[in-house]
Amino acid sequence: MKQSLATRWMLIQRVFFVLILAAAGPAGAQIKGNPERGADKAKTCVACHGRTGRGPMSGVPALSGQQSEFITLQLILIREGLREIPDMTGMLKDLKDQDLADIGAFFSTMEPFSPRGTRNDPRFAAGAKLSEIMGCGSCHMKGYVGQRQVPRIINQREEYLAKTLIAYRDNKRSGVDTSMNAVMYKTTDEDIYALAHYLAHQN
């Protein structure tokens, strides 16, 4: 049975708060990823995401330089069935939280991805204005580099950004809260494509 957005969000919130409690720990210990261990555990991941964190497959997100906590959280959500990625179904079922944190650390230490393709100046300008109006930098930080569970989105794949923003708008995806769904509510396809183009073509 397909879960409603509200039910899925409540489950995601539960996972998120469990992670927060685990990070605090009885002695303040945090689940800290080890990139060296992660390199070995990510051997399957690089088949699609690439050895440099940016694979050749369209629609597959670049992970190099991504926030390690964001990667870890997303992997846990995928493992628990709270985020549906058909191509990854079952791949994470035997991995523990520490394993996923190691994978997150591995990709986060890579050189951040750089822009690809040709910039369309009118679309870039429209996206820049939209980003300011929508306050993208307030959560994704200056330069859109992200923070902790908030992803780095600067120079992410354009087609992936557009697909993700449309999923938020159409309530087919949610984060640890519904802020992205609210921000994208009623945003047109044209505006989403402009925003994705702007974010994907930063210098």
Displacement of CA 174 from its chain's centroid (Å): 11
In this chain, the answer to whether the domains covering 5-108 and 121-200 adopt an identical fold is yes
Angle subtended at Cα 184 by Cα 179 and Cα 190, rounded to the nearest 5 degrees: 160
121-200 maps to which CATH number? 1.10.760.10
Q: What is residue 100's three-state secondary structure? A: helix
pTM comes to 0.85
Q: What is the mean pLDDT of residues 133-154?
A: 96
Nearest Cα residue to 65 out of 110, 29, 15: 110
What pLDDT does residue 31 have?
78
Nearest Cα residue to 15 out of 92, 78, 106, 65: 78
Domain ranges within the chain, ordered by starting residue: 5-108, 121-200
Q: Would the pLDDT of 10 be above 80?
A: no
- Percent of the chain at pLDDT above 70? 85
pLDDT tens profile 90-139: 899 999 999 999 999 999 999 998 877 899 999 999 999 999 999 999 99
- pLDDT band, very low/low/confident/very high, at 21 (cuts 50, 70, 90): very low
CA distance 124 to 46: 31
Domain 5-108 of CATH type 1.10.760.10: yes
Q: Would the pLDDT of 152 be above 80?
A: yes
Most confident region among 7-16, 175-184, 186-195 by mean pLDDT = 186-195
pLDDT tens profile 45-72: 999 999 999 988 888 999 999 999 999 9
Q: If 0-12 CB within 10 Å is exposed, 13-18 middle and 19+ buried, where does residue 184 land?
A: buried
Q: What is the mean pLDDT of residues 15-20?
A: 53
What pLDDT does residue 116 have?
79
Least confident of 25-39, 66-80, 176-190: 25-39
Q: Would the pLDDT of 80 be above 50?
A: yes
What pLDDT does residue 27 have?
43
